[in-house]
């Protein structure tokens, strides 16, 4: 029985969670990226090797990149996109030469992910990431003041957002604004409202169909390079998996995955299967998606969310959200058995808890909450692996 490769995300030397703690959590590897290079710029061999040696000196391996970012110019096919694509192609060659195997990326415009509260209090005193629909609409309409935003929301939603704003104090409004424009992982500078509004405006002529065309055009140029180098690409789904701030989405549903696979059939054109992102939609059947797209799943993010009918969701305990994690892990074990592989997995978006409550870490990436999640996931995997599951 093939078991998953257990990893955690590490943001590099500036990460307050050191490599030694990740190893003590039971991980055999880390997933990381070279955040010092801007999207669209080349990753040189020397920098890749330096990072690899650092990880190996800590007793672990680095085979999964998260992420080799796709620039906004590539997503829009404008500006300097041709140079950026050539840099991406050469970066693929460079990471392959250094022994890396999986390149994670996403195709979300402007914002990689969005939450309205990054310190949501849970009943047990820990803190989680939370997306509150009324707060988000209030941010869009009244704080960011995005032009044309009102057309995206029904009258009832606008009324709920206005009520949220009226009840919120100045500190709560400031926190919402800060959370919604949070810096990307691995960086320290948050977006400014002016930057976001300018970036949103640059997508005004690109709808979901247009963005999907740009994704396919990008893949047609980079997948053959990945194939030739013996590495695979793994796209991360949208987070949250529906349009926000008027931006199009192209990787939110099973149909989106099927469209991408049909357009670029190579299995080097693969998927980072994030159970939290796909699971934030009730219409995504996660075990079925693993069965359908298993040959393209090259990396796993195992996390859980709890959603409601109003569009709110929070990061639940790994075994306590809407996703049936036992059923998901069972399908992964069967997939690995069929393919004869051990897929890299990481627990994602752990709660801030215990001693980490007073530490400054990137939201969702404190050590102890992820350690708890990894322990729970490993327990489920171990138990299922001992049951003698059928081959199909």
CA distances from 178 to 91, 118, 189, 247, 378 (A): 33, 10, 11, 20, 35
Of the candidates 298, 301, 318, 351, the residue annotated as catalytic is 301
What is the residue-wise DSSP string for 289-358?
A: HHHHHGGGEEEEEE-EEEE-TTS-EEEE-TTTSSS-HHHHHHHHHHHHHHHT---EEEE-SPPB-GGGGG
The question of whether 2 is a catalytic residue gets the answer: no
Locus of tokens 């096919």: 77
**Spatial CB neighbours of 333, under 8 Å, sequence gap ≥ 6:** 1, 2, 3, 381, 384, 385, 389
What is the residue-wise DSSP string for 85-149?
A: HHHHHHHHHHHHHTT--EEEEE--SS-S---SEEEEEPTTS-EEEEE-HHHHHHIIIIIS--TTG
CA distances from 363 to 210, 238, 377 (A): 32, 18, 21
What does the alpha-carbon distance between residue 315 and residue 135 come to, in Å, rounded to a whole number? Answer: 17
Query: Encoding tokens for residue 31?
Result: 């997933």
What does the alpha-carbon distance between residue 341 and residue 323 come to, in Å, rounded to a whole number? Answer: 24
Of the candidates 256, 272, 274, 351, the residue annotated as catalytic is 274
Of the candidates 81, 88, 314, 365, the residue annotated as catalytic is 365
The question of whether 98 is a catalytic residue gets the answer: no
Of the candidates 298, 348, 356, 362, the residue annotated as catalytic is 348
Of the candidates 21, 84, 236, 318, the residue annotated as catalytic is 236
The question of whether 272 is a catalytic residue gets the answer: no
Query: Encoding tokens for residue 112?
Result: 């990689």
The question of whether 21 is a catalytic residue gets the answer: no
Q: Taking phi first (over 0 means left), then psi (-120 to 50 degrees means alpha), and beta for anything else, what does residue 124 get? A: alpha
Locus of tokens 């995997």: 381
Angle at the Cα of 121 (from 272 to 249), degrees rounded to 5?
Answer: 30
Of the candidates 21, 84, 318, 349, the residue annotated as catalytic is 349
Catalytic residue numbers, as ranges: 236, 274, 301, 348-349, 365
């Amino acid at each position: 029985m093939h078991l998953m490769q257990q990893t955690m995300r590490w943001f590099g030397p500036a990460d307050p969670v050191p490599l030694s703690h990740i190893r003590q959590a039971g991980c055999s590897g880390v997933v990381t990226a070279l955040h010092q290079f801007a999207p669209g710029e080349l990753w040189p061999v020397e920098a890749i090797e330096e990072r690899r040696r650092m990880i190996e000196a800590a007793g672990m391996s680095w085979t999964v990149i998260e992420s080799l970012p796709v620039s906004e110019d590539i997503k829009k096919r404008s500006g300097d996109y041709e140079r950026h694509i050539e840099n991406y192609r050469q970066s693929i060659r460079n990471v392959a030469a250094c022994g890396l195997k999986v390149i994670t990326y996403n195709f979300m415009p402007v914002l990689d992910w969005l939450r309205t509260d990054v310190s949501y209090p849970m009943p047990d005193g820990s803190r989680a990431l939370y997306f509150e629909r009324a707060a988000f609409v209030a941010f869009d309409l009244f704080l960011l003041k995005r032009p044309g935003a009102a057309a995206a929301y029904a009258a009832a939603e606008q009324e709920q957002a206005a009520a949220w704003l009226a009840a919120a104090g100045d500190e709560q409004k400031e926190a919402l604004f800060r959370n919604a424009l949070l810096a990307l992982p691995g960086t320290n500078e948050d977006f400014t409202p002016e930057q976001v509004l300018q970036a949103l405006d640059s997508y005004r002529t690109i709808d979901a169909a247009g963005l999907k065309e740009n994704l396919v055009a990008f893949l047609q140029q980079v997948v053959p390079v990945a194939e030739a180098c013996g590495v695979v690409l793994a796209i991360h789904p949208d987070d949250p998996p529906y349009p926000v701030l008027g931006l199009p989405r192209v990787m939110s549903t099973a149909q989106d995955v099927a469209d991408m696979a049909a357009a670029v059939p190579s299995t080097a054109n693969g998927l980072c299967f994030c159970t939290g992102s796909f699971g934030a939609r009730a219409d995504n059947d996660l075990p079925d998606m693993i069965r359908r797209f298993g040959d393209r799943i090259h990396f796993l993010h195992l996390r859980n969310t709890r959603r409601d009918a109003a569009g709110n969701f929070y990061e639940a305990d790994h075994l306590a959200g809407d996703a049936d994690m036992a059923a998901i892990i069972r399908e992964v074990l069967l997939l690995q058995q069929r393919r004869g592989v051990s897929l890299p997995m990481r627990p994602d978006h752990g709660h801030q808890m215990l001693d980490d409550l007073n530490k400054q870490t990137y939201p969702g990436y404190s050590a102890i909450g992820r350690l708890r999640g990894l322990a729970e996931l490993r327990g489920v995997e171990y138990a299922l692996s001992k049951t003698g599951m059928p081959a199909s």
